[in-house]
Structures are given as C-alpha cells and as structure tokens.
C-alpha cells in the first residue's frame, strides 16, 4: 500500500509550473478508462528536478528532514523518492537518478493497458521505467539522461493515427457545386474521383478525401435543426491545410483559379512555409511545405 506524505506546497512545487485547480474543477474531473483516449490526452510533462530512490529503516525515516514525493512501506524498509540534492544533503545512500514525467490525464485506477502500452514504447527504446499511479495521474520515473527522449516518444505515441478511422473525409459546404469543382480541379491539379449531383470528391494523399457538398443538399439531409450555412456565407468557418512539395506552386495555382490571397507564402514559426487564400465560398485554403534543413559544411 502506497503512503504519500503531505509535503509543504512551496517545497514540492519548487521550480515546477503548475495550473491551479479549484475544488469545483476537481469534482468535475472524470476518470478515464478508454485506452485510446488516455493515450491521446496524456500530455506528458517533464519536471525539472532530478529525483532518486532510497530505502530506509523505519527508525531512520522518522529522524530525516527530507520531503519525499512518495513513500512506500515494504517489509525490508521504507522506500522514498526524493530530490537528489536533498538526498545528498541528508547523506542518504540512493540509486537511480531520474526525472519525473507526469501524464496529465485523469486515469481511472481500473484502466487496463495504459501503463503496459507506455512501458512497451519505452522498453523498445531501451529506456527503463518506474511508474507510480496516484489517484489522479500516473507519474513516470525514467533515467535522467534519457528523460527528454522519453517525452518525445510519448508524444509520438499520442500522435499515432486514430485506430477507429479508416478514411478521413473533409467536406466543405458550397453554394455552387460546379464552380467549386472547377476551382479545386485547377488548384489540386487533378480530376474528381466522384462528381455527381450533390457530391464531388477529390482523393488526397494518405487516403484522405476532400468533398464538396451543395448547401441545399446538406439542408435536405439534416433538416431544419441545422443552422443555415448560407447565413454565414463568405465568413471563414473552415480551413483546408494541405502539405505539398512546393507551397508556392500551389499558392499561385490557387490565385490563378480565382482564389483571394489572405497571406503570401512565407516562413511560419511552426516549421512550415505556407500561404493562405480564400476559395469561392470563403473557406480558407492553405498550402504548405516543410522548411528545408540546413546542411552544415561538415555534414
């Protein structure tokens, strides 16, 4: 059974950026059991301090002035996890200098497979793991010299494709299907795979599909409960962001097809070169390509 000491807040949170959580917010937090949702929402946070593991007899633990973030009572003694600096000051023998990664999703204690999936990803990279499941969150202790790599791997795991989706369809509501079809045929440089009254489809790379549906068609399909898209015609309500080999070529093609330029092709701070336009219905259309990596003289 885990035993957690109540540590002075100023000490435990030293150097850690935190988000204040009120009692009412805690009440509204619902524990998650679905594995896919847990992985998608885990948001790993790497804490700045280096921690260590140590074991102490009960008699010695009572006299120490350290502030462990975890204690566990075993038959052989009390295991504590403390900051390395505190362990050195208290002259405690310790092992496993590590960093703590908190998974900021409220995981249910009954959740199945979450830690197994995490440990598998880290094990495949040769990264050891000691995990602690507290009431609200899971905390991972990994070797200090590989902590940033572990966070990178966890974020990659979060970004894996959704296992439930076989094909992604992005459907834009348009006023005139013929005009929009001609526009995107010129912009994308390809003909639709489907072009029938009520729906036009363009096959995109990666199995995605761009659909064009007349406003009149979606109104018939969904009825009066759907707010009238015509009421906001010309107001950008959606963005089509396509990563291509050469953003400039596609941006110029969009302008030539009648698109209105919002922002020319330029370097963006998220690592892309991108340009933005409006299509005939006011949807934002952006084409981007990744920045070329600079090659050094010695590479």
Each residue's pLDDT tens digit, 52-62: 999 988 777 77
pLDDT at 27 over 50: no
Strand bridging mode 70-74 / 2-3: antiparallel
Model confidence over 264-286: pLDDT tens digits?
Answer: 999 998 889 999 999 998 889 99
Q: Which of 147, 138, 168, 142 is CA-nearest to residue 42?
A: 138
Q: Which pair of tokens denotes residue 260?
A: 């209105």
- Architecture in CATH for domain 2-158: 2-Layer Sandwich (3.30)
Averaged pLDDT, 192-203: 92
Would you say 78 and 56 are in contact if contact means Cβ atoms under 8 Å apart? yes
Residue intervals in the chain for CATH 3.10.180.10: 169-290
Q: Which of 289, 258, 274, 287 is CA-nearest to residue 181?
A: 258
> Which phi and psi angles does 235 have, rounded to 5°?
-90, 120
Distance of CA 247 to the CA centre of its chain: 25
Model confidence over 229-250: pLDDT tens digits?
Answer: 666 666 667 889 999 989 999 9
What does the pLDDT read at residue 232? 66
Would you say 45 and 104 are in contact if contact means Cβ atoms under 8 Å apart? yes
- Architecture in CATH for domain 169-290: Roll (3.10)
Residue intervals in the chain for CATH 3.30.2130.10: 2-158
pLDDT tier at 258, thresholds 50, 70, 90? very high
């Amino acid at each position: 059974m885990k035993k957690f000491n109540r540590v002075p807040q100023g000490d435990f949170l030293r150097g850690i950026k935190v988000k204040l959580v009120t009692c009412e917010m805690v009440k509204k937090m619902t524990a998650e059991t679905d594995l896919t949702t847990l992985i998608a929402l885990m948001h790993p946070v790497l804490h700045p301090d280096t921690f260590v593991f140590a074991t102490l007899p009960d008699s010695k633990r009572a006299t120490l002035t350290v502030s462990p973030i975890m204690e566990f009572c075993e038959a052989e003694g009390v295991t504590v996890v403390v900051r390395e600096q505190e362990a050195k000051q208290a002259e405690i023998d310790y092992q496993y200098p590590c960093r703590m990664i908190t998974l900021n999703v409220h995981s249910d204690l009954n959740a199945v497979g979450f830690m197994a999936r995490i440990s598998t990803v880290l094990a495949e990279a040769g990264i050891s793991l000691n995990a602690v499941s507290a009431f609200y969150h899971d905390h991972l202790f990994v070797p200090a010299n590989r902590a940033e790599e572990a966070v990178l791997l966890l974020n990659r795991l979060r970004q894996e494709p959704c296992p439930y989706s076989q094909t992604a369809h992005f459907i834009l509501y348009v006023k005139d299907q013929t005009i929009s079809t001609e526009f995107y045929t010129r912009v994308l440089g390809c003909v639709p795979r489907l072009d029938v009254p009520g729906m036009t489809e363009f096959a995109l790379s990666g199995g995605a599909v761009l659909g064009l549906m007349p406003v009149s068609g979606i109104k018939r399909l969904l009825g009066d409960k759907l707010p009238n898209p015509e009421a906001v015609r010309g107001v950008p309500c959606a963005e089509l962001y396509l990563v291509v080999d050469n953003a400039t070529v596609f941006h110029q093609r969009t302008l030539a097809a009648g698109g209105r330029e919002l922002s020319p092709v330029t370097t963006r701070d998220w690592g892309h070169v991108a340009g933005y336009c409006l299509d005939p219905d006011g949807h934002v259309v952006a084409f981007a390509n990744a920045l070329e990596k600079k090659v050094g003289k010695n590479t």
